[in-house]
């Protein structure tokens, strides 16, 4: 292994060219050679230099058949209640994700929209690969959500609002449910347990349900729209897709682990998940906004388990 005087790992130009252009035997011509990184991982060779400062990225060039690759757009919306996050996401959508989507379509990489279940079912592309059970559950969830919205618009008495908010979604949660514990009033944070409720302004809850996929990224006839990890898996299995290129928002939430089609969940299914780190941003706070620390931390966490790349490198590889 070659290192610089500062101790960082370097690649010889000849080695880089070899990795970039020498595909493994049997690779099909319709492939992309994408520069990726993962880690950081320990680069030490002795116990003396086995320190955290020795953790560095591993870089490689992965050849991937276009027919086995999908570009995934997670929760790319035209509105978000956090204005500063919405502004960053809108700029990334316009300047980075949109050109990438157009290039992917032209190259033959399938584009898959994953805008959350209640939004996905509004688009006609969603019915493809939606099994009967998934279709019924998603429609039920949509109808139930609209029912809740109507109840809120009617401005029910304060005593009824916790009951309205406690109406459960139709889709099952990832975690197993035990209805016997904790007690129902503790789960709903009502009665004697109301003090533990983490309240949000009504505008956060209500306005967010009106969001859509941005106009410039509305699904094309050849695109797909999915509402769940199971539906995504059916689509990928049928198309023999192995590699998932992740874009979208928020890095530290839905892209990372809070959706069943997130990198964590699809990685557990065995797919090769790659986050395009310039095509995403996290939701920050007053203590992390300067420096986008939560976004960077989420990307580091994703790189530990998966890998990352940039849209610029992908575009160059596609043009090649």
pLDDT of residue 286: 97
DSSP bridge pairs for 55: 42
Measured torsion, CA atoms of residues 299, 303, 306, 311, in degrees rounded to the nearest 10: 60
Confidence at 106, pLDDT banded by 50, 70, 90:
very high
Alpha carbon distance 41, 44 (integer Å): 9
Residue 261 has pLDDT above 60, yes or no: yes
Residue 13 confidence class, pLDDT cut points 50, 70, 90: very low
In DSSP terms, which residues pair with 160 in a beta bridge? none
pLDDT confidence bin for 54, thresholds 50/70/90: confident
pLDDT the model gives residue 18 = 36
**Pair of tokens at residue 53:** 């400062």
Query: Torsion angle of alpha carbons 83, 85, 90, 92, nearest 10°?
Result: 160
**Percent of the chain whose predicted confidence (pLDDT) is above 70:** 73
Specify the pLDDT at position 143.
Answer: 56
- 135-143: list long-range contacts, CB under 8 Å, 24+ apart: 137/170, 137/171, 138/170, 138/171, 138/227, 138/228, 140/170, 141/117, 141/169, 141/170, 141/171, 142/117, 142/118
Measured in degrees and rounded to the nearest 5, phi and psi for residue 296 equal: -65, -40
19: confidence class by pLDDT, cuts 50, 70, 90: very low
Instruction: Give, in words, the CATH class of 66-130+213-319.
Output: alpha beta
- In the predicted structure, residue 260 carries a pLDDT above the cut 60: yes
What is the 3-state composition of the chain as percent helix, strand, coil, each rounded to the nearest 5? 45, 20, 35
CATH 3.40.50.850 residue window(s) in the chain: 66-130+213-319
Residue-level pLDDT at 4: 39
Higher pLDDT, 167 or 102: 102
Q: pLDDT value at position 15?
A: 33
Write down the pLDDT at residue 152: 59
Write the CA distances from 269 to 49, 126, 230, 241, 263, integer angstroms: 36, 21, 10, 12, 10
Mean pLDDT over 200-222 rounds to 78
Q: Which residue has the higher pLDDT, 137 or 76?
A: 76
Can you tell me the mean pLDDT for 288-317?
97
CA distance 192 to 195: 7
Exposure of 70 by Cβ count < 10 A (0-12 exposed, 13-18 middle, 19+ buried)? buried
């Amino acid at each position: 292994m070659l290192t610089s005087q500062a101790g960082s790992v370097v690649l010889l130009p000849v080695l880089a060219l070899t990795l970039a252009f020498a595909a493994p035997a049997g690779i099909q011509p319709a492939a992309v050679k994408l520069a990726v990184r993962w880690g950081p991982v320990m680069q030490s060779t002795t116990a003396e230099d086995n320190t955290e400062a020795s953790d560095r990225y591993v870089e490689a060039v992965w050849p991937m058949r276009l027919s086995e690759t999908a570009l995934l757009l997670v929760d790319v919306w035209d509105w978000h209640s956090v204005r500063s996050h919405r502004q960053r996401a809108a700029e990334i959508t316009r300047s980075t994700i949109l050109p990438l989507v157009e290039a992917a379509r032209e190259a033959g990489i399938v584009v898959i929209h994953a805008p959350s279940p209640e939004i996905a079912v509004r688009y006609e592309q969603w019915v493809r690969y939606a099994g009967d059970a998934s279709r019924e559950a998603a429609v039920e969830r949509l109808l139930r959500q609209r029912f809740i919205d109507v109840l809120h618009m009617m401005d029910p008495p304060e005593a009824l609002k916790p009951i309205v908010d406690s109406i459960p979604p139709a889709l099952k949660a990832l975690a197993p449910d035990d209805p016997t514990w904790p007690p129902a009033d503790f789960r709903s944070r009502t009665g004697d347990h109301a003090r533990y409720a983490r309240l949000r302004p009504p505008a956060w809850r209500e306005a967010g349900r009106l969001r859509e996929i941005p106009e410039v990224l509305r699904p094309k006839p050849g695109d797909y729209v999915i509402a769940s990890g199971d539906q995504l898996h059916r689509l990928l299995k049928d198309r023999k897709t192995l590699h998932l290129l992740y874009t979208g928002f928020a890095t530290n939430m839905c892209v990372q682990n809070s959706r069943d089609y997130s990198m964590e969940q699809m990685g557990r299914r065995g797919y090769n998940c790659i986050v395009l780190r310039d095509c995403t941003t996290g939701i920050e706070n007053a203590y992390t906004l300067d420096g986008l620390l939560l976004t960077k931390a989420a990307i580091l966490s994703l790189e530990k388990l998966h890998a990352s790349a940039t849209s610029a490198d992908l575009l160059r590889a596609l043009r090649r």
